[in-house]
Structure 1
């Protein structure tokens, strides 16, 4: 536990990314922030608040510290003749006047020890006349002038410590800020270029305070160049005019251009583009006759057979959107999705009918039984106009309330994403792409459709497919233009395939859907060798239409996890505070995504939609941002480093899992009084562990609980470990103590 001050707040610590690299021992440097030109405005603010200039300068420093950390309670350290005091880092003050008043009242004596936060991580503020009289500023440090620019005249061998009588020594604190009536002197041991950024932030805050005592104190005050980078240059994808055509219309055009080319390879046979288009047209006619229409949903419950792509395209050609229903899912989950989505039509085969329960008042089209009657329908397309804003599909993802939630994805966002994958992935060759993931997992979208946009084949691998056979199946069909998979699959292939097979496997492999380690990337690139199959990363939750960013790797980065990549065309990706303000480079925040790919929302969940899909303050009127729940920070080179989740959602084998859903299902069992589920193990082999308090008079039956969950949850949501506990361990903050739970395994 980190020691607290009198208020219970922990001592402020500098951002991890700002600290020098472990093992390095850099000399301290200084930066000078001039504020004499702001004297009138700062003095007026002090007068309004009934305080003095040092308190105003301290408030400015407090504001800067507030921008350097996440929204928990922290205390700054302030030194004067009476010793070191704690001052709460005020984050909620609406105006500069309110901030100064609150800082003036927030000072209190230190209580307790802060030894667990090393001095190298801490910041100290001092104020008063400097030893030896006023300095002329020629101190060899960086300078933030009245125009906001920062200069670095040169580096002294040592740094004069304010109040030290002119002695030269290395400060113990990672940052010291000394304020006098003309300037702030920042002395720090920071990784470059963060001292310059810090000086600019102090200058921007002081300028805003002097300009208007009632100005906005909640807004981020970044250097203009840094603000332009994090809200523009780094966070905004290229602007491209994609036109109004939907994916199915573009595939129709491709079928007209290359009718005899192979569109689908499955079970040793091929389907041409002409055959695919005509089969889809016939299915569309059958669905339209049963009431399929724009924004209605048609359930599609099929394995990777020759019927899959004609069925999906047929739904779109009928004007409707599709609801993917993986036959491998438990029957109860399939029925819940059909009912929750209000499906009036389901497209499937006889073998899957018992698990589905036909929708009340709706219809089920059995493709195997109705094959002859469907084949007798005209092969020409329906007369239709597809609005790009209509639904393309609804995919259900794990939900924290115990039930999955349906994400509504529109045609415009899907077209924007798939056109990018056609340009970036499919253009790597002519061999198309293999499909081996569930249709309920949107990771496979580019493999299903991007080849069809470019005249290439889609390879449907056997279903079901033992993971142990994946390497052999892929090697037999190589070379592909691209293969998209989870990092777990990539890890498996790096051991199952020979270096020669890896070298010639594809024009590109993409690892997505889960945390991608630099070590895995390094191993793959080493096995592939020069000129071999390159590897890329892709990032994006379902709510922003499959993927929002990506990057092809030339070498593994220095970070533990591969960065998230650059935004794709017509999208944005910001790192913001909970007030939607940008965070400085190197400071953690939450990832928010905007642009064409943002989904419509959650089906019949208006409250949750309003919570996660927010007005975009940086976009065009009416545009929205999706709040991902992912933590990240910008690096100095403009890459975006993934740091984990802000909630209890995890990724297991590439699937997004809400731990709350598993806990809710466990609590449904009569023998369970309480349950907690956590993710355990390293990123590459993460699994789930369930900790169960048995109901009174019962004992935990791990096999029975596993069977209970297997009846309602997919396999990837089943805990690998079940542990009986007497009570749920809690931290001093009242949260579940996951460290204690992990120690019970």
Structure 2
């Protein structure tokens, strides 16, 4: 094998999804791409560049290889009379002319490493007489490698032979990828022949494949949702079923009429204190009878709400209130010491002002809510050390919640339980979808020990639906009996974290025929709770459950960093568009511009949200989740920026440097902090944990603290997480 050179380049490897299944040994297939009809254009391009046709064909091949891999440093393997040389895969050429020139001038091939790539994963390009594509070397046996050894051509997973009239492909690929590969080469050659100065950066996919990944698979159905907001639709439901139970908490029930009237009174109190559209009102309440009237009252006042979980550290709550510019906070006396509202702001203590609020008129305010106004701002973990506020508008929230009402709440009449933090948007459908359909919202005790969750849910079953993290689903699969699982709900939804097929299989097995089905839902906070989902008839063959189909009025693409579509089976980053895309980050214009990009496939003025999630399309149109492209992880369903924890650790006087990583399997992932103590300072794990706990929520606290002398690095200069994991 060719040794690594200074460049650190690695030979190109075929996409994992394109390779045959492990253990299979399929016979190689053959595909042919004729290009004689493009001869004039291709010869002209060769002439402009002062080179020959084989070089143009090699450039076309390198363009395709660039489309099949992510943007790391790779090199193509090219056989010639001297052996096998390595030519850098060029991804940045703007025109075909530039691409061909750069390939033609690659007189000194880059050194490449094949140490981690087997021959079955590699691709070999040859050119010359047509017969050359049918035999190993020029003598029909072998080809000398650039490293001094000899290599049978037949051992390569893909062989591409360039003849004067056609390209011949020989490969043992999973169907239908050989045909896709041939089509991509044909599309590239067609574009090269048409215009030497044409766009060489654009993806060149088969038209049918392009239509699938940018349309059929990635676009949700168009549904007219009208202009009504969620609160207006709940008001209409209250008028239709005024005496039905809307909220159940601690054995007591609140009717729809009582809920609506209480919310109207709170709205009047807030309006009198200056609540208005696009202003934010902080809501710091536990799951009590006041929670839903407070949230609806904020909306009825025209304002948006800022959820403030009383369980969060006081420092974090105060930071969010100040950063959001909250002039109003709704809370109770018990939570007031932790909040410290800004000077000049007002605090409404619902327990102390209960009588005065009840004395206000119960009739609704005269208001008009713009669907583009703020519904809420939720703070998520931020890589710079401070959380960032995501601004969600009423239109996106209505689109999502109406979908959950149709898809989740319609599964029964028992409503839904709420047991997650109000600062965690996973619980949005449980809070509001039942109210859109005349069903009850069940507020479970707060705080609630997870050991008691199964008993609480079983006592209130059957529900229409229950939405939870995969961690909760895993817990329930052991805590509940098969009989309890069978009749628990019309549907359970696992969302907010990686959902394994093994867990889905176990749940469906325990539920039995006709029992509680399970669904998946995917979506970051920035696209309004959820963007895709599906109910599982049976667990898929993948390790993780696919992300599901886009919900109505949304899109979900897998793109390159240039916003070009990637081929089926090739990893890329998930970008989400449509009605649910948030307005951006509150008072963070730079970060907003970085993550919310103009949508090249949407209506003028529309945006795509860059999720940071890696995925790839499967041949059946499902979208397979592959992890993150950055340092963000999910812990118990909560999104965590590791950089925020690291920044807090570095603030401690006893810490010189710190690295935080996620460790353990998906279902029980935890955080580990690796600390280089300051000179002369001891390693005090308890002190460091207390330091973090003063500013960060419990789910962001590392389970492990390890002292290290230096941060281990890979040969590319990145943190070597494998070495760190080995220290536990």
TM range (shorter): over 0.9
Deviation, 1:114, is 1.9
1:521 to 1:262, Cα distance in 2 relative to 1, 3 A = same
**SS of alignment partner, residue 135 of structure 2:** strand
**SS of alignment partner, residue 727 of structure 1:** coil
d(CA) in 2 for partners of 1:185, 1:661: 52
Q: Deviations over 1:78-132 (max 9, x none)?
A: 001111110100000000000000111124346465243100000000001123x
d(CA) in 2 for partners of 1:633, 1:269: 48
**SS of alignment partner, residue 141 of structure 1:** helix
d(CA) in 1 for partners of 2:191, 2:371: 44
Q: Deviations over 1:647-706 (max 9, x none)?
A: 000000000000000001111111111110000000000000000111111111001111
d(CA) in 2 for partners of 1:121, 1:145: 20
d(CA) in 1 for partners of 2:695, 2:115: 49
Alignment check: 8 A CA contact 1:27 1:170 kept: no
Alignment check: 8 A CA contact 1:86 1:108 kept: no
Q: TM-score, normalised by structure 2?
A: 0.97
Q: Deviations over 1:157-201 (max 9, x none)?
A: xx9999999999981001000001100000111100000000000
1:694 to 1:32, Cα distance in 2 relative to 1, 3 A = same
Residue of structure 1 in register with 2:518 after alignment: 535
**SS of alignment partner, residue 407 of structure 1:** strand
d(CA) in 2 for partners of 1:7, 1:695: 35
**SS of alignment partner, residue 437 of structure 1:** coil
Alignment check: 8 A CA contact 1:31 1:199 kept: yes
Residue of structure 2 in register with 1:560 after alignment: 543
d(CA) in 1 for partners of 2:568, 2:265: 54
Alignment check: 8 A CA contact 1:432 1:456 kept: yes
1:166 to 1:207, Cα distance in 2 relative to 1, 3 A = farther
Residue of structure 2 in register with 1:606 after alignment: 589
Superposition CA RMSD, Å: 3.8
1:74 to 1:668, Cα distance in 2 relative to 1, 3 A = same
Alignment check: 8 A CA contact 1:33 1:145 kept: no
Alignment check: 8 A CA contact 1:220 1:583 kept: yes
For structure 1, which segment, 507-516 or 111-120, has the greater mean C-alpha deviation from structure 2 after superposition?
111-120
Deviation, 1:360, is 1.4
Deviation, 1:145, is 27
Alignment check: 8 A CA contact 1:5 1:111 kept: yes
1:480 to 1:721, Cα distance in 2 relative to 1, 3 A = same
d(CA) in 2 for partners of 1:637, 1:430: 34
Deviation, 1:585, is 0.2
Q: Deviations over 1:438-483 (max 9, x none)?
A: 0000000000000000000000000000000000000000000000
1:672 to 1:506, Cα distance in 2 relative to 1, 3 A = same
1:512 matched to 2:504: no
d(CA) in 1 for partners of 2:558, 2:339: 42
1:460 to 1:142, Cα distance in 2 relative to 1, 3 A = farther
1:29 to 1:429, Cα distance in 2 relative to 1, 3 A = same
Q: How does 1:33-44 map to 2 (within 5 A)?
A: 33-44=33-44
d(CA) in 2 for partners of 1:306, 1:263: 11
Q: Deviations over 1:716-740 (max 9, x none)?
A: 0000000001111111111111000
**SS of alignment partner, residue 24 of structure 2:** coil
1:146 to 1:279, Cα distance in 2 relative to 1, 3 A = farther
1:163 to 1:54, Cα distance in 2 relative to 1, 3 A = farther
Alignment check: 8 A CA contact 2:136 2:152 kept: no
Q: Deviations over 1:31-76 (max 9, x none)?
A: 0000000000000000000000000000000000000000011000
Q: Deviations over 1:185-237 (max 9, x none)?
A: 00111100000000000000000000000000000000000000000000000
d(CA) in 1 for partners of 2:113, 2:727: 31
1:446 to 1:274, Cα distance in 2 relative to 1, 3 A = same
1:112 to 1:309, Cα distance in 2 relative to 1, 3 A = closer
1:328 to 1:148, Cα distance in 2 relative to 1, 3 A = farther
d(CA) in 1 for partners of 2:3, 2:564: 29
d(CA) in 2 for partners of 1:573, 1:148: 48
Q: Aligned pairs, how many?
A: 728
Residue of structure 2 in register with 1:303 after alignment: 286
d(CA) in 2 for partners of 1:261, 1:161: 81
1:182 to 1:248, Cα distance in 2 relative to 1, 3 A = same
Deviation, 1:144, is 24
Alignment check: 8 A CA contact 1:598 1:626 kept: yes
Q: Deviations over 1:622-658 (max 9, x none)?
A: 0000000000000000000000000000000000000
1:524 to 1:148, Cα distance in 2 relative to 1, 3 A = farther
Residue of structure 1 in register with 2:160 after alignment: 177
1:430 to 1:49, Cα distance in 2 relative to 1, 3 A = same
Alignment check: 8 A CA contact 1:3 1:10 kept: no
1:569 to 1:377, Cα distance in 2 relative to 1, 3 A = same
Q: Deviations over 1:5-31 (max 9, x none)?
A: 564311100000000000000011110
Deviation, 1:426, is 0.2
For structure 1, which segment, 478-487 or 725-734, has the greater mean C-alpha deviation from structure 2 after superposition?
725-734
1:668 matched to 2:660: no
1:101 to 1:447, Cα distance in 2 relative to 1, 3 A = same
Deviation, 1:358, is 2.2
**SS of alignment partner, residue 626 of structure 2:** strand
Residue of structure 1 in register with 2:54 after alignment: 54
Q: Deviations over 1:502-538 (max 9, x none)?
A: 0000000000000000000000000000000000000
Deviation, 1:359, is 2.1
1:6 to 1:38, Cα distance in 2 relative to 1, 3 A = farther
**SS of alignment partner, residue 130 of structure 2:** coil
